[in-house]
Amino acid sequence: MSLDNEAVLLKREILIRVATLAHEGTLTTQLRKLPYEMTAAGRPSYRCCVHHERAILRDRVLAVLGSAIEERDESVDLNEAAVEAWERTGPDAFPLTVVDEACKGCVRSHFTVTNACQGCVARSCRNSCPQGSIVVQGGRASIDPETCINCGKCQEACPYHAIIHLPVPCEEACPVGAVTKGPDGKETIDPDKCILCGRCIGACPFGAVMEKSDVVRIVRALGDDRPLVALVAPSVLGQFPGTLAQIYGAIHALGFIDVKEVAEGAEQTAAHEAQEWAHGQASGQAFLATSCCPAWVRASRAIPGMGAFVSTTPSPMVFAARAARTAHPGAQLVFVGPCTAKRREALDTAEVDAVLTFEELGALFVARGIEVGQAEPFPLKAHRPEGRGFALSGGVAAAVAATGVTGLKPELINGLTRKSLNLLKVYAKGKGQGNLVEVMACEGGCVAGPGKVCSVKVALTHWDQEAK
Amino acid sequence: MNDKRRVISEVEVKAMDRISVRVCSGTTCYVLGGSELMDLARTLPPGWRDRVQVEGAPCLDLCRSPGQARPPFVKVGDRVVAEASVEKVVAALRELLA
């Protein structure tokens, strides 16, 4: 999900354009032109006509302004929406929105016979079907959608690989079944089921799932009298050119009076979690599940019996926020990370005032013409590597182990999927093998978060160079 | 003595012959997909290594020039590759090396 998904690049371009207008003070007078500028001659076109292209771009802009597309009146003017965004005092409680104009309304997930079918004598597809759903007529097999149960046996059986599975990518990516079709065939997200892992954002090939950005409010806050402090997640390494100290320097140059490493909070989380684990073991508790991933904490609530096993230790963001409040009373705290679920954790805990993703931070840099690779390095506090390690799968368990507790048997859940959730359900019944279960919703850890700038592969090269 | 001098100048000539590939490391290019070009050098065919010189460059200022060309930018010799990907850079190099 980077260079290979043009929808991601479109979103980033809109973020940059909106942040630039907001910074220049022309958002409320010039925003109306944005869909026209982005459909000028020579620009790539993805839709049936320029009008549809503009309608979708307009909705994407609304999401970047922080609006729920589902609730918008189609006649709303972008300049007026910009005024509303500029005046907004906080983000929506549910941070995702579906751009229904952009949603393809994919046909229900199904198997289909392509024209590679040779109508062979073997009839392997028909013979493998437990439902009797396949008939061969006129030299070609076909599947009866009414009786097919999507088992996929025919696909495996076909000697010509002529049967394909057509998925609904967002539904398939959702580990908890929160994304389903409405009556019009367009996707909707159930806010009660959704764990905010953000997988659907990257999964949709049409870029129809978007985050409601808070970027305009942050641009405004940067110009206000009340000082801002940035709390930066350790996964920032590699998200921008330059060294870690230069990235911090660039954030400082945006106007944040101080830039704190959330890695410091992570060290406190690890120490508390180690204590909690040791107490639990002493009192006969089967295992402790980590609590730093907010998508996992949301998911855990739907697993019967899991509640007793999830750590109550505050997340690194919360510890970092408490330290920052003491150091800078009266300042507004902005968490900067790659995470969609953090937006909701910020609201629920009320420990930070706003959340910015790395993509949005990048848009602010571009809007202000800040070259991160040339930025003045910001002095970073000496730290232990374990805190920064929270950004990678295995890092939390390693940090707990590094506190010196003995008898630790970690199990790493590297990515929340339907499959790994099933394993966690087994744990909730007291049948797991490990006694510390580290859960990260994103495969690879936070470096793979939905708000990341670069691919995990590129981020890891930076980690190899600097994190040690 | 004379022999040694001759060898050095040959190396220099070889270095001058190398095609320079400058990957823009400006923030705009990086955010709009350029991040994925950072390990370009490692993905080039091994046979090209002594004929191509890949380096990161501070902002090449191409994103601010008028026109419809879009980031990320890479300069392959004198040629500007817009909306650059590893595949596009390889294609541009293939033409120059042919």
Position A45 confidence tier, pLDDT thresholds 50, 70, 90:
confident
- pLDDT mean over A64-79: 90
Contacts of residue A265, defined as CB under 8 A and 6 or more positions apart, other chains included, come to A231, A315, A316, A317, A318, A319, A320, A321, A323, A387
CATH number at residue B49: 3.40.30.10
Q: Say if residue B72 is preceded by a cis peptide, omega within 30 of 0.
A: yes
Reported as a single tens digit per residue, the pLDDT across B31-83 is: 999 999 988 888 888 888 889 999 999 999 998 887 778 999 999 999 999 99
The pLDDT score that the predictor gives to residue B43 is: 86
| pLDDT for A256 beyond 60 | yes
- Nearest by CB to residue A366, choosing from B25, B28, B35, is B28
Query: Is the distance from CB of A121 to CB of A91 less than 8 angstroms?
Result: no
Q: Do B68 and A41 touch (CB under 8 A)?
A: yes
ipTM of the complex: 0.91
Rounded to whole angstroms, how far apart are CA atoms A373 and A359? 17
- Cα four-point dihedral sign A326, A327, A329, A332: negative
Task: Compute the 3-state secondary structure of chain B and give helix, strand, coil in percent, each to the nearest 5.
Answer: 50, 20, 35
Rounded to whole angstroms, how far apart are CA atoms A394 and A389? 8
Mutation target among A1, A3, A462 for the B interface, most CBs of B within 10 A: A3
State the architecture of A110-166 in CATH terms: 2-Layer Sandwich (3.30)
| pLDDT for B5 beyond 60 | no
Contacts of residue A216, defined as CB under 8 A and 6 or more positions apart, other chains included, come to A18, A19, A22, A27, A64, A65, A66, A82, A85, A86, A88
- The total of other beta-carbon atoms located within 10 Å of residue A85's CB is 27
Residue in A with minimal Cα distance to B59: A371
- The total of other beta-carbon atoms located within 10 Å of residue A413's CB is 22
Domain count within chain B? 1
Instruction: Work out the minimum CA distance from B2 to partner chain A, whole angstroms.
Output: 43
Rounded to whole angstroms, how far apart are CA atoms A339 and A178? 18
Chain A stretch 223-242, residues whose beta carbon is closer than 8 A to a beta carbon of chain B: 238-241
Q: What is the domain range of residue B62? A: 2-97
Which sequence spans correspond to the domains of chain A?
6-101+173-212, 110-166, 225-466
Reported as a single tens digit per residue, the pLDDT across A402-454 is: 999 999 999 999 999 999 999 999 999 989 999 999 999 999 999 999 999 99
Q: Do A371 and B36 touch (CB under 8 A)?
A: no
- Nearest by CB to residue A366, choosing from B27, B36, B56, is B27
Query: Is the distance from CB of A207 to CB of A144 less than 8 angstroms?
Result: no
